[in-house]
């Protein structure tokens, strides 16, 4: 019977972090400006990993003071973030960094397609094996591997003799799964051990992003128990972008704190199925806005209710993120189609409040206790509105305003737009981004080219009716000096002429 020595213990995460393959080449350790692009959420075939023009691929290990720290191999780098859309990126997520301009970079989730082959971030293979603990003696552990283990088949070794760390002290006659890091033919290391007797089988109820950037899972057991699980440290067989409400997971944990919901210190999380879980048929029509597309799941916001619907993938290719749509059942199939708005002059919030539009110049701002009282001169009349946002308008500047009223006689400012920021473009090309957003290329009268998204903008047209040759006024909140230039906008208006 062949035997070999294996060291078993814990390794700090800074030295051994699990991943899939070696990271890309390292680059100079200096701060860089980073913009956050929209997540790509494919579930069957992923195209986001085919782009190899990356500066680096690594794991997000910290968000701090506007910087994001990424670990690539054994190199940590701080990237200065120039975009506020960090809520799409999570602690522990594998991301790619792509150079957009001389000083600006884009950061996107890096989609891993196969979790069956794993490596540390230093390139060492991680094998998962199952074995019985035969005995523990003099600080060593003797493990009898299962006959069907790939490690047994490749090496012929049936028993492993290993040093056991205190943190992994186990009793005899216990079957565990082990993650073994292989350094050489005669040198291996057991990175972790998992006991199926401690496994929790749960259903995901809610996904939250914590202040430190970690994605937190709120899940429940079929006996009614509720659990909170962090995703940064556990070993995972999924991309964080794969998770959605309703999925089944197995959580391995040695420590569960007695609280409500129970706090779980997980060592491993297995996603059991990525089959979409949503409404598959309707006895009524649903009209709402698309807030997320993930595989053949579409998330619809109707009023204050967000629901998930299971729709054929090819059908989802005909609608866009941010678009108002109608869902209904026809011949046993759930159908989604654009909902055509005939009149954009009368607009309402998702809760039914009328959106009031007016123009004026800001004359003063009185800020107190997170509330801003803004005085506006509109058509030679003075009006005072409440505003609860952080991005304040500038005194003495003329804006186009939007407000809503929850109490008679009181106006709450919801949006404002600076007409001086307008870029007038003619649409030259239309395309659909991976996340379902309708993107278009536009050219101004000087020949400048712009790449613009539509998912978060106020518009006066139906997205399905936008076509090449249309002339649009784009209110530019920010313009990235790239080619074509990337425009951040919250308002796009179709006009008849320049």
- Write the pLDDT tens digit of every residue in 258-272: 788 899 999 999 998
Question: What's the confidence (pLDDT) of residue 178?
Answer: 81
Q: What is the DSSP string of 41-97?
A: --SSS--TTS----SEEEEEEEEETTEEEEEETTEEEEEEE--S-GGG--TT-EEEE
CB 60 within 8 A of CB 91: yes
Instruction: Give the pLDDT means over successive 10-residue stretches in the chain (498 positions).
Output: 39 40 34 45 37 75 84 82 71 84 74 82 78 70 64 54 52 72 67 86 90 92 88 92 87 85 92 71 90 87 84 92 94 92 89 90 89 92 89 94 87 94 96 93 95 94 96 94 91 86
Does 3-11+124-194 match 18-119 in CATH topology?
Answer: yes
Q: What span, in angstroms and rounded, lies between the C-alpha atoms of 236 and 243?
A: 11
Question: What's the confidence (pLDDT) of residue 490?
Answer: 93
Question: What's the confidence (pLDDT) of residue 108?
Answer: 83
Cβ-Cβ contacts under 8 Å for 289 (sequence gap 6 or more) = 300, 301, 302, 322, 323, 324, 325, 350
CB 5 within 8 A of CB 162: yes
Q: Where are the domains of the chain?
A: 3-11+124-194, 18-119, 197-271, 286-338, 356-417, 420-495
Rounded to whole angstroms, what are the CA distances from 371 to 374, 388, 415? 10, 5, 15
As a CATH number, domain 356-417 is 2.40.50.140
SS (H, E, C) 445-497: CCCCEEEEECCCCEECCCHHHCCCCCEEEEEEEEEECCCCEEEEEEEEEEECC
User: Is beta strand 33-36 parallel, antiparallel or unpaired with respect to 104-109?
Assistant: parallel
Q: What span, in angstroms and rounded, lies between the C-alpha atoms of 170 and 191?
A: 15
Question: What's the confidence (pLDDT) of residue 112?
Answer: 85
Cβ-Cβ contacts under 8 Å for 198 (sequence gap 6 or more) = 252, 253, 254
Q: What span, in angstroms and rounded, lies between the C-alpha atoms of 311 and 280?
A: 7
Half-sphere exposure of 393 (CA within 13 A, CB side): 31
Q: Which fold has domain 286-338?
A: OB fold (Dihydrolipoamide Acetyltransferase, E2P) (2.40.50)
Edge-to-edge, what's the strand order for the sheet holding 333-338? 305-310, 297-302, 286-294, 324-330, 333-338
CB 417 within 8 A of CB 475: yes
Question: What homologous superfamily does CATH list for 3-11+124-194?
Answer: Nucleic acid-binding proteins (2.40.50.140)
- The encoded tokens of residue 424 equal 């007038």
Q: What span, in angstroms and rounded, lies between the C-alpha atoms of 228 and 231?
A: 10
pLDDT, tens only, 43-75? 333 333 344 567 788 899 998 877 888 888 778
Q: Does domain 420-495 have CATH number 2.40.50.140?
A: yes
Q: Which fold has domain 197-271?
A: OB fold (Dihydrolipoamide Acetyltransferase, E2P) (2.40.50)
Domain 18-119, CATH among 3.40.50, 2.40.50, 2.60.40, 2.40.230: 2.40.50
Question: What's the confidence (pLDDT) of residue 479?
Answer: 92
Q: What span, in angstroms and rounded, lies between the C-alpha atoms of 314 and 44?
A: 13
């Amino acid at each position: 019977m062949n035997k070999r020595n294996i060291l078993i213990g814990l390794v700090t995460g800074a030295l051994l972090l699990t991943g899939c393959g070696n990271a890309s080449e390292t680059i100079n350790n200096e701060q860089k400006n980073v913009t956050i692009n929209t997540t790509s959420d494919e579930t069957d075939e992923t195209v986001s990993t085919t782009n190899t023009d990356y500066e680096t691929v690594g794991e997000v290990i910290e968000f701090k003071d506007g910087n994001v720290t990424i670990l690539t191999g054994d190199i940590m780098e701080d990237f200065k973030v120039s975009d506020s859309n960090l809520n799409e990126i999570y602690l522990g997520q594998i991301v790619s960094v792509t150079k957009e301009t001389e000083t600006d970079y884009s950061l996107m989730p890096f989609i891993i397609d196969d979790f069956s082959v794993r490596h540390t971030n230093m390139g060492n293979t991680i094998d998962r094996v199952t074995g019985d603990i035969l005995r523990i003696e003099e600080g060593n552990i003797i493990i009898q591997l299962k006959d069907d283990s790939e490690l047994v088949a490749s090496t012929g070794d049936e028993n492993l003799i290993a040093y056991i760390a205190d943190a992994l002290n186990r009793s005899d006659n216990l079957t565990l799964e082990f993650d073994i890091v292989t350094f050489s033919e005669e040198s291996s290391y057991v990175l972790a051990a998992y006991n199926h007797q401690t496994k929790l089988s749960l259903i995901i109820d809610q996904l939250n992003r914590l202040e430190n950037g970690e994605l937190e899972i709120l899940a429940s057991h079929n006996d009614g128990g509720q659990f909170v699980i962090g995703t940064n440290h556990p070993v995972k067989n999924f991309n964080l972008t794969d998770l959605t409400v309703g999925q089944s997971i197995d959580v391995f944990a040695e420590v569960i704190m007695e609280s409500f919901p129970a706090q779980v210190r997980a060592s491993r999380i297995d996603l059991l199925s990525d089959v979409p879980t949503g409404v598959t048929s309707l006895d009524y029509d649903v009209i709402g806005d698309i807030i997320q597309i993930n595989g053949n799941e579409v998330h619809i916001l109707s009023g204050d209710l967000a629901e998930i619907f299971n729709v054929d993938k090819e059908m989802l290719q005909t609608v866009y993120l941010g678009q108002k749509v109608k869902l209904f059942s026809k011949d046993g199939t759930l159908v989604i189609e654009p909902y055509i708005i005939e009149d954009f002059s009368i607009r309402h919030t998702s809760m039914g409040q009328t959106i009031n539009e007016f123009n004026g110049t800001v004359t003063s701002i009185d800020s107190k206790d997170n509330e801003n009282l803004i005085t506006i001169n509109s058509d030679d009349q003075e009006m005072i509105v409440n505003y609860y946002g952080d991005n304040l308008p500038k005194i003495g500047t003329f804006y186009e305003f939007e407000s809503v009223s929850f109490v008679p006689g009181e106006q709450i400012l919801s949006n404002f737009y600076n007409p001086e920021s307008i870029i007038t473009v003619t649409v030259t090309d239309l395309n659909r981004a991976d996340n379902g957003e309708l993107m278009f290329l536009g050219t101004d009268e000087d020949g400048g080219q712009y790449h613009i998204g539509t998912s978060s903008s106020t518009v006066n047209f139906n997205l399905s009716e936008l076509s090449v040759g249309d002339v649009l006024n784009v209110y530019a909140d920010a313009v990235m000096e790239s080619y074509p230039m990337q425009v951040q906008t919250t308002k796009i208006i179709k006009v008849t002429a320049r």
